[in-house]
Structure 1
Amino acid sequence: IELVVVNTPNFTHVDYTRRSLQAGKHVLVEKPFTPSSVEAKELFELASSMGKKIFVYHNRRWDSDCTSIQKVVESGQLGEISEVHYRYDRYRRAIGPKKFKEEPQEASGLMYDLGPHLLDQAISLFGKPKSFYKILGKHRENTKVDDYFMIHLAYPNDLNVFLTSSLLVADPQKAFVLHGSKGSYVKGRSDVQEEQLLNGMKIDNPLFGIEAPESKGRLTIMDEQSNPQVSYVDSEDGNYMGLFESVYQSLANDIPYPVTEDQIIAQLEILES
């Protein structure tokens, strides 16, 4: 055995990762990696001293949504981006059965559950923010942990990124909204991989990871006369296997894993604050 996968309740990640490293194994760890940045740094240092690698499981970076947004941003069609909104909403009024998410303990609550996804997507695309501000809320009856959060990330050149998640959204809003000097891009959350896997679809199915045609993002570009030119952008295919391929390439060929230690530390510094 060369690689141990830690996919256990959040508060156990540190202990199991440490034990796996001490046993001489590489580790793939579910998000959130650790409750704190200090613990993350300690584990990264331990891995380095043991000649082993830690990979944090951020599969949402390989969502069709995330890769489609990256393609639009990198194309330059939006011009200088000034405002970005990411949302990850659900409607779950009842307290969930997973106690490690619903009890007030380390790394519990919605922010530590869905916050890592949104932060990873934002940080991977725009980098570490120069400052941040966040709000937490408790809105469900009898909840013991946060079930709402909003994180504002401030970047150079007055770029503002807003990450929002709630467990009480009956009418989901567009999950991705980007505004730039030349236009806007709007897209719903529509990656299909998780649903397909839960329904028993195999990853070698030709339809795996392919969004429905109506899920295309809407791109609005203003022409020289300030008239809107609207088009619908084909989505990239979702590809969770890209994560596992990256783990393999790192172990077999020493190619750097895309989810870097610095990105994880930046994420945790926001989550723990």
Structure 2
Amino acid sequence: MQLVKTGLCAFGMSGKIFHAPFLKEHPGFFLSAIVERNREESKEKYPDATIYRSVEEMLKDADIELVVVNTPVQTHFEYVKMALEAGKNVIVEKPFTVNVKEAETLVTLAEEKSLFLSVYQNRRFDRDYLQVQKIMNEGKLGNIKEAEIRFDRFRTEPSGKAHKENPDATGSGALHDLGSHLIDQATQYFGMPEKLFADVFSMKGKEFANDYFEIILFYQNDLRVRLKSSVFTKEAHYAYSLHGEKGSFLQERTDNQENELAAGAVPEYGNDWAQPLKEPDGILNVVNEKKKTERILTSSEPGNYMNYYQQIYEFMVFGYALPSPAEEIIRNMKIIDAALESSNTEKIVYL
């Protein structure tokens, strides 16, 4: 099997949970380099990886074909640009960049260099997201008229992470963080909206970056999609609510891959490794062809973040479709920029 030598730009939470385990377990990748500026934490689990003290130093390694930029969003533009200029293909963590202009510049550069640039939208491989996609594809709801996607937490105390909570740091806050997931899922389900209205602010106070947002997406076929997130939600809502001409579907957010990986789970290549559900996680309430109401408890199938790296490998080796190409994610960045504009002006913004 052809090996893709890969370098990881950081070994914090993202590197330890979302990238290194999959690069190690996938037989098509070789995790050959990791940037750790001051420590050597990666040595225990990844002894074959060379530790570099800076991204600049790692990019001089001519053997590396693929670089994963998993540093704070404020550094994405700089490091992705450096990696592309060094002739490396790039996976960059969400959110892609802090604004559309940066994203478009990087897409152009990748095209000029004949390199690929993919954004790590791992929530496309969550069990709950995939279950909603399945229900929609089966047409059980008929034409969908209204949808809501939420990602709530109960985190009322500051985390101490300046790149996420400093209001003066461009790209900080929930809109760029969790919002990049919800916006991506909405555009995957329904495409690009015509216009939007947004309310974005900090519930913890003006000294913190936004930790609450509500975005209403308007579509030309009279569909309304609401995206919402709050850090003051102790009791969980349904993460997905879809209402159509034939009925409704409610889906809980049940994917637990992140927590399982943090607890030490090893993702198996070629197998579903996440723990199975203990009870149903969705409700489908529809009117069938005989005009009778059916209320069904549904259970989602396991998600698997390994499938992202499998798709990357298949693209590099066999030329299959690239997962979440950067030029596609630009539309998500346009929605983020427009949401900030809408919230600041208190007006509807056309896309």
CA distance in 1, matches of 2:149, 2:207: 24
Moved more, 135-144 or 177-186: 135-144
Distance 1:100 1:267, change over 3 A: same
1:234-273 to 2 correspondence within 5 Å? 234-273=299-338
CA distance in 2, matches of 1:117, 1:163: 10
Letter in 1 for 2:135: V
1:223-238 to 2 correspondence within 5 Å? 223=288, 227-238=292-303
Q: Which has the larger radius of gyration?
A: 2
Show structure 1 runs of 5+ residues with no match.
none
Identical-residue share of aligned pairs (%): 38
Count residues in correspondence: 273
Over the aligned positions, Cα root-mean-square deviation in angstroms equals 1.7
TM-score of the pair, normalised by structure 1: 0.95
CA distance in 2, matches of 1:219, 1:140: 36
Letter in 1 for 2:197: Y
Deviations 1:119-174 (A, max 9, x none): 11111111111111111121115642111001111112211111000111111111
Letter in 2 for 1:241: M
Q: What residue is the counterpart of 1:189 in the other structure?
A: 253
Q: Is residue 208 from structure 1 mapped to residue 279 from structure 2 by the alignment? A: no
Q: Is residue 221 from structure 1 mapped to residue 286 from structure 2 by the alignment? A: yes
CA distance in 2, matches of 1:13, 1:239: 25
Q: Is residue 126 from structure 1 mapped to residue 190 from structure 2 by the alignment? A: yes
Query: Residues 188 and 215 of structure 1 are in contact (CA less than 8 Å); yes or no, is this contact kept in structure 2?
Result: no
Q: What residue is the counterpart of 1:140 in the other structure?
A: 204
Letter in 2 for 1:260: P
Q: What residue is the counterpart of 1:151 in the other structure?
A: 215
Q: Aligned match of 1:24 in 66, 74, 87?
A: 87
Q: What residue is the counterpart of 1:180 in the other structure?
A: 244
Once the two structures are TM-superposed, the CA of residue 210 in structure 1 deviates from its matched residue by 4.3
Once the two structures are TM-superposed, the CA of residue 194 in structure 1 deviates from its matched residue by 0.7
Deviations 1:9-30 (A, max 9, x none): 1100000000000110001100
CA distance in 2, matches of 1:87, 1:215: 19
Once the two structures are TM-superposed, the CA of residue 256 in structure 1 deviates from its matched residue by 2.2
TM-score of the pair, normalised by structure 2: 0.74
Q: What residue is the counterpart of 2:234 in the other structure?
A: 170
Q: Aligned match of 2:98 in 35, 44, 57?
A: 35
1:26-105 to 2 correspondence within 5 Å? 26-104=89-167, 105=169
Letter in 1 for 2:67: V
Distance 1:6 1:24, change over 3 A: same
CA distance in 2, matches of 1:262, 1:82: 28
